[in-house]
Amino acid sequence: MSVGYENFPVASVLLPAAMRRPVSLIYRFARTADDFADEGDLRPHERLAHLEGYRAELRRIEAGRSPESPLFRELGEVVAAHRLPLAPFHDLLDAFSQDVTKQRYANFAELMDYCRRSADPVGRLMLHLYGESDARNVACSDAICSALQLINFWQDVEIDFRKNRIYLPLDDMARFGVTEDQIAASDASGGWWDLMRYQIDRSRRMLSRGAPLAKSLPGRIGLEIRTVVQGGLRILEKLERARGDAFRHRPVLKAFDWPLMLCRALVM
């Protein structure tokens, strides 16, 4: 599962018009590849074969040959026009492939390595599009994207468990006395709130580390990023209010949240 696409704006009206097509194409690439790993009734080897087909299309772009699918022909045009690196696309595919083969994470370091490939590439591609890809901005972007990925995990604990995946670090679960059986039973008692509060605080600190990027980028691009950051913070607020019980009170952004987030972004 990659960054929570349903919760954060993609190619929104906040973006400059010239950016909406390339951002939409990157989104389509990520969304459709993620669906290969997550959706439908395909067997693992079939999911991996679909993802390998995407890698083959990327290799055609790298070799200067015409891709076979319309999506990749359009993507190739955007890559060429904006001189986008292809490594982030490959990283995304590696993360989606990992979703097929790895269902548990021993510790936070393992989880962050996954986020490095499942979430951070999206932000890095955005920075290349904006012409703002220096080391400081990349570090801030990585913090924001990884935080959003983590927040998506915390809100989707039950959904992911139905797919036999647990993204909560196993050592943290053991530390707070939370078991897989408790997740299976949608049981938010015992040490569950302590575990989730620890993850909420961790994610909020990570968003704070990335916040300087949202403040420094100019115009509508900066406003877009500030709104994304506020979206993540709003989900954490809702999760905190529910004492971490995403089983019965899964936090989502609703219509009335967007004006609040935009106001917060404007004064951020």
Q: Count Cβ atoms below 10 Å from residue 215 Cβ, excluding itself.
A: 12
- Tens of pLDDT along the chain (268 residues) come to 334 444 444 445 666 778 888 988 999 999 999 999 888 889 999 999 999 999 999 999 999 999 999 999 999 999 999 999 999 999 999 999 999 999 999 999 999 999 999 999 999 999 999 899 999 999 999 999 999 999 999 999 999 999 999 999 999 999 999 999 999 999 999 999 999 999 999 999 999 999 999 888 888 888 888 998 999 999 999 999 999 999 999 999 999 998 998 889 888 7
Predicted model pTM:
0.90
Closest by CA to 213, choosing from 265, 112, 140, is 140
Q: Which two tokens stand for residue 26?
A: 């990157």
Q: Which two tokens stand for residue 126?
A: 């955005």
- The sign of the CA dihedral 252, 254, 260, 265 is positive
What integer pLDDT is reported at residue 38 of this predicted model? 86
Query: Helix, strand or coil for residue 264?
Result: helix
161, 246 in Cβ contact below 8 A?
Answer: no
Q: Count Cβ atoms below 10 Å from residue 259 Cβ, excluding itself.
A: 9
